[in-house]
Amino acid sequence: MNRTNRSLGRWRRWNGMGLAVLLLMALAGGAALYGQTAPASPAGQAGAAAGAVTLPHVQPIVSMRDHTAKGATPAPKHKQSYDFTLKDTGWMDTGVTLAAGERASFTSTGKFSLADGRTTEPDGLARGWKDLLRQFPLNSANVGALVGRVSDLGASVPFLIGAKNDVVIPTSGRLFLRVNVSDDLAATGNYKVKVKFEPAKATAAALAPAAGVALVSGLITPETFVDIPRRVSDQAGNEGDMVNYALLGTEAQVKAAFKAAGWVAVDKTVEDAVLHGLLATLNHEAYTEMPMSTLYLFGRPQDLSFARGDPLKVAAERHHLRVWKTTKTIGGVPLWVGSATHDIGFEEDQRNGDVTHKIDPKIDDERDFLLHSFDAAGVFSSAAYVLPADPMLKAKTATGGSFYSDGRIVVMELK
C-alpha cells in the first residue's frame, strides 16, 4: 500500500476515534448564470495569450438575487402559505421560487425511522460516535433534523429548520427540503411541513444589489491590479497559484461573509489543530479545519485562510483559499485579494519527491465556486469579473502541478 492509501486509511479510522488530526498535520502544508463562459481548454488560453482575448475588461455580474431560471426577471409570485409532506431522504424540490429577503416561518411534525434502530423527529437526534464517520447534508445539524436550502447550486449552504424556525431567505431561488441523514441510514417515514411567507421589506439595503452592480464596475478597473502580483509563492520564492479573486470590505465583513457562505477558518498551527480536533471529536462534532500550508504575497504569509470540505474527504479533497489585505482602498473600502484552489487528491511534490495535494487544473471553477457560495449566502452587494492587463492564463503550482485560466479576477463588494 503506498503512502497516500495508508494516509487515507488512517484518516477514516481515526476521525471517529478522536485522533484524526495527528494524521492531518502530515498532510497540511457555472459560471453561465453569472456571465460569459470562459475558454474551455489550455489551447484556448494559448490563443488568448497570442492576442485573441475577447472577454470584456470589466463585466458586471447579475446575482441569483436578480435571476430566475428564465433570466433576470422578478421571482414568480407564490402563495403566502404551503403544506408539504417530505417522504424520502433526498432533496425535495418544493417548486416554490423565493425572492431574497423573504421571511419563511416553518413548523413541522412527524417521524423518520433510521436503519440503525433510532427514530427521529424534525429537531433531530444528538450525534453518536458512528455518526462522525457519516456524510450529512448539514454537518452542523442533528441527525434526522429537517433542513432546507435555496437554489440547487452545489455551493449553496443548507440551513436548519427543525420543528420550528423563522428564516430570512438569503438569495433568490427554489426552496428545497431534506432530512439530515446519510444514505446508509435509509430513513423511512415523513415530515409534515407548513411554511408561511412574508414579503421582503423594501428597504435601502434590500435595493442595494441592483444599485451596486454599477458601483463595482465603475470603481474597479484593470489598472486596479497593475501592481498586485499575478501569483503567490512558497517560502523559497517558487511561484504557484494565481490570484483569482478580490473582496471589498472590512476584516469583519470578510470573516462574516465566509462564515455565512459555509467556509471555516482553518487552524493555524499543529498545536491548535490537535486541541481543536480532539475537542470537536469529544463533542461528536465533525473536524474540517485542517491547517493548510503557508504561501506568500507582498512578501508576507496569508492574513486569513478558509476551507470548505466534507469531514470524510477533507484529508484529500476540499475547497480552500488564502486571503491577503492590500494597501489599496476603493471608495474608502479596503481591498483584499486571494487565491482559491480545489484539492482533488494527491500527487508527487516535484520539489522534494514527497506526497502533496493535487489541485483541479480548471482553476476558474474554484473561483466561480467562491462566487456561487457568496451569492447563495447573499453576502455581496455587487460583483464583477475583471480582466487584468497581463492575465495569467497557464502556469504551474509551486509543487509542479499545472493549471489554466481565462485570466479573470472576480471582485465582490461585501455587504
Clarify whether residues 146 and 286 are in a common domain. no
The answer to whether 132 and 279 have CB atoms below 8 angstroms apart is: no
Which CATH number goes with the domain that contains 90? 2.60.120.430
- Is 8 within a domain? yes
pLDDT score, position 269: 66
- Same structural domain, 48 and 93: no
Q: Strand, helix or coil at 61?
A: coil
Which parts of 268-399 are beta strand (E)? Answer: 296-297, 300-301, 304-308, 317-330, 333-348, 355-359, 380-386, 394-396
Distance of CA 105 to the CA centre of its chain: 26
Is residue 52 one of the residues assigned to a domain?
yes
Q: Check whether residue 153 and residue 247 sit in a common domain.
A: no
In a domain, residue 75? The reply is no
The predicted structure's pLDDT at residue 141: 94
Say how many domains are in the chain.
Answer: 2
Distances (CA, A) of 127 to 54, 140, 146, 277, 284: 52, 10, 15, 16, 6
Q: Mean pLDDT of successive 10-residue segments in the chain (415 residues)?
A: 40 39 36 41 38 68 60 70 94 93 96 96 94 88 96 87 95 94 95 94 49 60 94 92 96 96 81 61 64 91 90 66 96 95 77 73 95 93 92 84 93 93
Cα radius of gyration (the chain): 22
Q: Specify whether 175 is located in the same domain as 262.
A: no
pLDDT at residue number 273 = 55
C-alpha distance from residue 288 to each of 185, 220, 315, 331, 344 (Å) = 22, 34, 9, 36, 16
Torsions phi, psi for 102 (to 5 deg): -65, 150
Cell 479573486, located at residue: 245
Contact 181, 135 (CB under 8 A): no
Could you list the residue range(s) of the whole structural domain that residue 97 is in?
A: 81-198
Closest to 340 measured CA to CA, from 405, 269, 270, 267: 405
Q: How far apart are CA 269 and CA 367, in angstroms?
A: 26
* Residues 251 and 396 grouped into a single domain: yes
Please tell me whether residues 180 and 302 are part of one structural domain. no
The rounded distance, in Å, linking the Cα atoms of 388 and 408 is 7
Q: What one-letter code names the amino acid at 144? A: G
Q: How far is CA 9 from the centre of its chain?
A: 26
CA distances in angstroms from 204 to 101, 201, 256, listed in the order given:
12, 9, 21
182 shares its domain with 232: no
Region of 222 on the Ramachandran plot (φ > 0 left; ψ -120 to 50 alpha; else beta): alpha
Q: Tell me, yes or no, whether 357 and 391 share the same domain.
A: yes
96 and 225: one domain?
A: no
Asked if residue 330 belongs to a domain, the reply is yes
Q: Among 163, 198, 233, give the residue marking a domain's end.
A: 198
Enter the DSSP assignment of 258: H
409 belongs to a structural domain: yes
> CA 276, CA 24: separation in Å to the nearest integer?
12
pTM for this model (two decimals): 0.77
Q: Could you give the CA distance from residue 153 to residue 291 in angstroms, rounded to a whole number?
A: 27
Assess whether 270 and 357 both reside in one domain: yes
Residue 73 lies in a domain: no
Among 339, 334, 336, 375, smallest CA distance to 247 is for 336
Q: How far is it, in rounded angstroms, from Cα 354 to Cα 295?
A: 18
Q: Which three cell numbers stand for residue 237?
A: 520564492
Is the same domain home to 28 and 143? no
Q: Please, which residues have CB within 8 angstroms of residue 187's CB and are 6 or more apart in sequence?
A: 89, 112, 113, 114, 115, 120, 144, 179, 181
Residues 187 and 307 in one domain: no
Residue 72 in domain: no
The answer to whether residue 65 is domain-embedded is no
